[in-house]
Structure 1
């Protein structure tokens, strides 16, 4: 354990667990869930933000509600550049992407409008310089 992780006490970890499930929970309810007053819970969250333990609050989008019924994980061999990374970030169908070690250079999780959307994404990826791709369709997510 690092000095930073050791500085998190049980209450901090409980707060993080609750916020992971519902980042919009009111301070009063958060406090009740972890055994603190609303003010104490809010102070701890602000401290976790200042220390950058909490990097940001975000929204989890149900891609199916947006018409993106097909999710796929794509392994791609490609000479990545900052320009390519920016292009990936701007695509609405890219849920997550990372540079990885091993045979693929990047792994990309996409949510597409069916097989047509996936085909369009793969065509775009090859135009960006991907020389080899492997695509796994997600049957059902676990987490």
Structure 2
């Protein structure tokens, strides 16, 4: 990666929907050259994808958005946990983190009973020894 790639990444992180023409103009490249660089970074795994972030309250779906700090059982490998947890209903993101816990899991649950069921599945099926759950009240976007 060179300076242009880093500049392109910075722009895309601020506006992933920017046209290749506008992206190229901002970094001093043609639209085709900018597109080629983005395609290369996608192919090489530098850019892992594009996503749409939706405010949980704005999408019209009722329910809870939760963040679950997870500590694995000593006999559970991280890769096995990741495979198992991504199969569970409502899981939207799994992040390996530093600090007191092993993972941070983001999930949706229809109601407190569904959240309770999810937490039980995490312990029974995914190898979670301990968890701490926080419920999102609202999201602020810049």
Q: Find the residue that maps to 1:76 and give its secondary structure.
A: strand
Show the counterpart of 2:33: 40
Whether 2:78 is the aligned partner of 1:85: answer: no
Structure 1 position 121, deviation (Å): 1.0
- Partners of 1:106 and 1:51 in 2: how far apart? 26
Question: Deviations for 1:66-107, whole angstroms, at most 9, x for unmatched residues?
Answer: 726422221223323444321212235222223445543332
Distance 1:102 1:113, change over 3 A: same
Q: Aligned to 2:107, what secondary structure does the other structure show? A: strand
Distance 1:14 1:68 in 2: 39
Aligned to 2:67: 73
> Who is 2:128 aligned against?
130
Q: Is the 8 A contact 1:23 1:57 kept in 2?
A: no
Gap change, CA 1:42 and 1:142, over 3 Å in 2: same
- Where in structure 2 are there 5+ consecutive unaligned residues? none
Q: Using a 3 Å threshold, how does the CA distance of structure 1 residues 127 and 51 change in structure 2: closer, same or farther?
A: closer
Query: Residues 50 and 66 (structure 1 numbering): CA distance in 2 closer, same or farther, change over 3 Å?
Result: same
More helix by share: 1
1:107 and 2:90 correspond? no
State how far apart, in whole Å, the 1-side matches of 2:84 and 2:131 are.
18
Gaps of 5+ in 1: 1-6
Using structure 2 for the length normalisation, give the TM-score.
Answer: 0.70
Q: Secondary structure at 1:90's aligned position in 2? A: coil
Measure how far apart 1:37 and its partner are: 1.7
TM-score scaled by length of structure 1: 0.70
